[in-house]
Amino acid sequence: MVIRAAERGDLEDIHYCENSSFDLPWSYAMLYDDIIENENTVYLVVEKEGRIIGYGGMWIIFDEAHITNVCILPAYRGRGYAYALMRELNRAAKERGADAMSLEVRVSNRAALKLYKKCGFSIHGIRKRYYSNNGEDAYVMWTERGPGLEAL
């Protein structure tokens, strides 16, 4: 497994991962804008035997990192790839001066909740009807400032 910075040539594979994993996927144009055009983002891809099997991204806003997406193709889930990706996102956030991380996650996504708790995130709030496709709520999760980023 290799985790590396996403590149323009990875966009088709990232879009495929996105569409294979989410009920409300980002469009190709949204991914392009965020990954290529936005200077305040970090996107990483996970490669297995030369194939992109997942990706993750975050916005760096002053001293905080906000996770936008973490995605592993269904056939590769449950093997530690998402945890390894979260470790690398954490490292990249610290390198860029972030001392806390946040994200939103569907309240029904038990696997993601388990992963994020393992990575040092805890629930700090709820966004009612956050997801537009079905009105599902989202938990707002944060790591603690400073030492919270050391959980990984």
Q: What is the mean pLDDT of residues 14-20?
A: 96
**Per-residue pLDDT tens for 106-124?**
999 999 999 999 999 999 9
Q: What is the pTM of this model?
A: 0.91
Kindly report the average pLDDT of the chain as a whole number: 92
Domain extents in the chain = 2-151
Residue 62, token pair as written in the block: 């002053």
Helix (H, G, I), strand (E, B) or coil at 85: helix
Q: Under CATH, which number does the domain 2-151 receive?
A: 3.40.630.30
Closest CA to 83 of 105, 63, 62, 54: 54
Active-site positions read: 104, 116
